[in-house]
Amino acid sequence: MERYNLLVTFHPNQAGTAEREVRNRIEGAGYTIEHMEHSCVNGVFCVQVDGDAKELIKSIRREFMDAPEMLYHTFHWVPVDTWVEATEEAMIEAVKEAAEGIGDHESWKMHVHKRHHPKHSEELMLLLTDPILKGKVDLRHPQKIIAVEVLGPMAGISLLEKDQIIDVNQLRLEVGLTQII
């Protein structure tokens, strides 16, 4: 799993159309998919793209603002900086490392998607945010986002800016459309 630098979520019943959408968007942005497979969790693709996945997401977001119909079968696009075992200790250390990129006066929030992990989501969120002593929390307009994507025994951790992550429904609302689910 460590080689993947992008996770894309989709409805499990639409895997074929979602895969075409992922391939079309990545290739349309001028990137190449080196490897792509279903994760151990239904509805999540693990993708290895050549180049910087964060820059890819910025490009797709810009295009989406002019053509929101381009993303209809996928939900979230999340770049991954590093993979760790989904143990509390390993995730805490990875989050602390990611948080080093938050300036003392910057705002941030944590985005956690937990799949097949025994800890309750709220408990996991509190556990991971507790050691972050920089900046201030802003859930509406953060300057930085610490993304934690737990897929069973592994967790992908990233420090992102707002334009380096895609939540299709949120973007649809921003351009005046209704949510797709």
pLDDT single digits (tens) 99-127: 999 999 999 999 999 998 888 889 999 99
Q: How far apart are CA 107 and CA 143, in angstroms?
A: 5
Q: Evaluate if residue 148 carries a pLDDT over 80.
A: yes
Query: Does the pLDDT value for residue 2 go beyond 80?
Result: no
Mutual angle of helices 121-129 and 88-99, in 10-degree steps = 50
What share of the chain has pLDDT > 70, as a percent?
99
Average pLDDT on 26-36 reads 97
Confidence band (pLDDT; 50, 70, 90) for 181? low
CA atoms of 158 and 109, how far apart (whole Å): 12
Domains of the chain, start order: 6-81+163-174 (3.30.70), 82-160 (3.30.2130.30)
**Is the pLDDT higher at 177 or at 54?**
54
- pLDDT at 168 > cutoff 70: yes
pLDDT of residue 141: 94
Mean pLDDT of all residues belonging to the chain: 95
The residue that leads in pLDDT, 76 or 3, is 76
Q: Is the pLDDT assigned to residue 180 strictly greater than 90?
A: no
pLDDT of residue 92: 97
Tokens of 38: 């279903």
Mean pLDDT, residues 24-30:
97
Report yes or no: 81 and 158 within 8 Å, Cβ to Cβ: yes
In the structure, what pLDDT confidence band is assigned to residue 179 with cuts at 50, 70 and 90? confident
| pLDDT exceeds 70 at position 42 | yes
